Amino acid sequence: RKEVEQDPGPFNVPEGATVAFNCTYSNSASQSFFWYRQDCRKEPKLLMSVYSSGNEDGRFTAQLNRASQYISLLIRDSKLSDSATYLCVVTPTSGTYKYIFGTGTRLKVLA
């Protein structure tokens, strides 16, 4: 089993739609969780951190389910500019500094 798994997509959705991505992780001792956004041929940029209680930033909502070992990202009212690859990132357990990146989920928002 991969340490972090994501559905690669692509997810093709119309403008205004709501779309959700899930990401599963294998190590129950993982400490912190993030969603990053990567545009084509650009560097990854932090979209939001994921907290145990769930958190929201405008149209974006992130959830963490430690019992089932997954995190989710919900995007409401999709915009054309949301088209990108979304990377799930899990930080290391104690004793290692390796951040685990998922391979990403591609989203394409259609006009």
Partner 1 sequence: NAGVTQTPKFRILKIGQSMTLQCTQDMNHNYMYWYRQDPGMGLKLIYYSVGAGITDKGEVPNGYNVSRSTTEDFPLRLELAAPSQTSVYFCASSYQYNEQFFGPGTRLTVL
Cα 94 from Cα 29, distance rounded (Å): 8
Per-residue x/- mask for partner 1, residues 44 to 73, rule CB under 8 A?
A: xxx--x------------------------
Q: Which helix (H) or strand (E) holds 88?
A: strand 84-90
* Nearest-approach distance from CB 79 to partner 1, in angstroms: 23
Contact 46, 62 (CB under 8 A): no
Copy the structure tokens of residue 83.
């088209």
Judged by CB under 8 A, how many residues of this single chain contact partner 1?
A: 21
Radius of gyration for the alpha carbons in the chain, expressed in angstroms and rounded: 14
Query: Is residue 9 close enough to count as binding partner 1 by CB under 8 A?
Result: no
Query: Is residue 29 close enough to count as binding partner 1 by CB under 8 A?
Result: no
Query: Residue numbers of the site for partner 1 (CB under 8 A)?
Result: 31-32, 34, 41-46, 49, 87, 89, 91-92, 97-99, 101-104
